[in-house]
Structure 1
Amino acid sequence: MVLAPLALLAPALLGTLGPDGSGETIPLSGTEPGQHLDVTLTRVVDPADPAPAPAPADSGSDSGSGSGSGRLVAVEFRLENTGTAAYQDSPAKSSHLLDSGGQRFTGSNTTTTAGPAFPETLTLAPGGSALGFVTFRLPDEAALAAVQFALNAGLADDVGHWSLS
């Protein structure tokens, strides 16, 4: 029976947020040998205010920061490389937020006042760790349901899942 091993594995991949807003650490593997990361969802900021944009040198028009409708939600992760290979990936592309209607939103490197965003590409040597935010743009009425994280720009089979409801 294939279902029995999957039922045993599922609790190891699922996390929930504690009363302080932090989630448990979920160990994840990538598609290549030695790719292992411990991922902890540490905080969710909803809504997150866009960081002030620097003033342009020749300000003839106001393009506005954070264009687009809806609200920003910032999710803070702690990433620790527990593998034998360097982790080089985009945490934003590896992250997804799901709303209660089942819509899936991919993260971005948008800077908010919640804290520093991860760089577009993060490199961690084995044993290295990093803390940073991934930002999502959602419709104003969207209710948060879950956050997911998977290595290899979200394409790895091993997916961390934290319930927000």
Structure 2
Amino acid sequence: MRTSATARRRSTTTALLAGGALLALATTACGPTATTSVSTKPVRSTAATAATGVGTPGAPSAAAGKTPTVAKVGDAIALKGMDKGASDDVSVVKVVDNVQSTDGISKPADGKRWIAVQFQIKDSGSTAYSDSPENGTTVVDDKGQSYNSVIADTGAGQSFPVPLNIAPGDTALGYITFEVPTDAKIVKAQFTLDSGFADQTGQWKLN
């Protein structure tokens, strides 16, 4: 006896619905459980003096004995990595605007300029830090536009090596360069561990 066309369509629809339910269940089971967050709360001020070419010269953003409420230049933010025991205290130490390359050849594209941000990374966890910090950094202008880093050695100072390796308890210091429009007003810097894939991002006000 032949199966009617209506019966076949009903059977196909039931199979598709069952398959969709299984797919949704699998996605839920395998998907990320953590929620991405942006932290602006510093744990301490790490620089007695921190000069910045974007805005006014920086200094510890809290009075003695007080913890600042929003991280600025000179403040450290505690960030967690993806692996168990991976955590780092990251600071924006200095911002230098309109930097030039040290090779005398490389330069920003027409209508752009370079900004170099000096970050300090202290491995506060129980596992070693091994990453390329520039992959997880951005700067943001006053309109909300974000800009990624570029590979450039500039007169601002020493860049981070690639990869950067830090033992637990140790600290590393280096500049990361960003290419932004000439007229852009850069107001924030962001840093995310694990080349930008960690669930927590640190954010600093630059002026």
Q: If the length of structure 1 is used for normalisation, what is the TM-score?
A: 0.80
**Greater share of helix residues, 1 or 2?**
2
Give the direction of change, closer, same or farther, for the CA distance of 1:66–1:14 in structure 2 (3 Å limit): farther
Q: Is structure 2 residue 198 aligned with structure 1 residue 150? A: no
Equivalent position SS for 2:99? coil
Q: Is structure 2 residue 157 aligned with structure 1 residue 118? A: no
Give the direction of change, closer, same or farther, for the CA distance of 1:84–1:15 in structure 2 (3 Å limit): closer
Q: Assess if the C-alpha contact under 8 Å between 1:35 and 1:84 holds in 2.
A: yes
Match 1:132 to one of 174, 182, 188: 174
Q: If the length of structure 2 is used for normalisation, what is the TM-score?
A: 0.65
Q: Give the equivalent residue in structure 2 for 1:50.
A: 101
Match 2:107 to one of 66, 76, 81: 66
Deviation per residue, 1:55-100 (Å, 9 max, x gap): xxxxxxxxx3225231000000111101111111111111110111
What is the alpha-carbon root mean square deviation over aligned residues?
Answer: 2.5
Task: Write the distance in 2 (CA, Å) between the matches of 1:72 and 1:148.
Answer: 16
Q: Assess if the C-alpha contact under 8 Å between 2:40 and 2:77 holds in 1.
A: no
Larger Rg: 2
Give the direction of change, closer, same or farther, for the CA distance of 1:11–1:41 in structure 2 (3 Å limit): closer
Q: Give the equivalent residue in structure 2 for 1:12.
A: 41
Q: Assess if the C-alpha contact under 8 Å between 2:40 and 2:203 holds in 1.
A: no
Shift, 1:108, TM fit: 2.9
- Greater relative CO (CA pairs within 8 A, separation 6+): 1
Q: Assess if the C-alpha contact under 8 Å between 2:108 and 2:114 holds in 1.
A: no
Match 2:80 to one of 29, 33, 49: 29
Task: Write the distance in 2 (CA, Å) between the matches of 1:105 and 1:42.
Answer: 19
Give the direction of change, closer, same or farther, for the CA distance of 1:47–1:15 in structure 2 (3 Å limit): farther
Q: Assess if the C-alpha contact under 8 Å between 2:39 and 2:200 holds in 1.
A: no
Deviation per residue, 1:30-62 (Å, 9 max, x gap): 111011001010000011122134xxxxxxxxx
Task: Write the distance in 2 (CA, Å) between the matches of 1:10 and 1:160.
Answer: 5
Q: Give the equivalent residue in structure 2 for 1:59.
A: none
Q: Which runs of 5+ in 1 are unaligned?
A: 1-8, 54-63
Q: Which runs of 5+ in 2 are unaligned?
A: 1-37, 51-55, 60-72
Equivalent pairs: percent with the same residue? 34
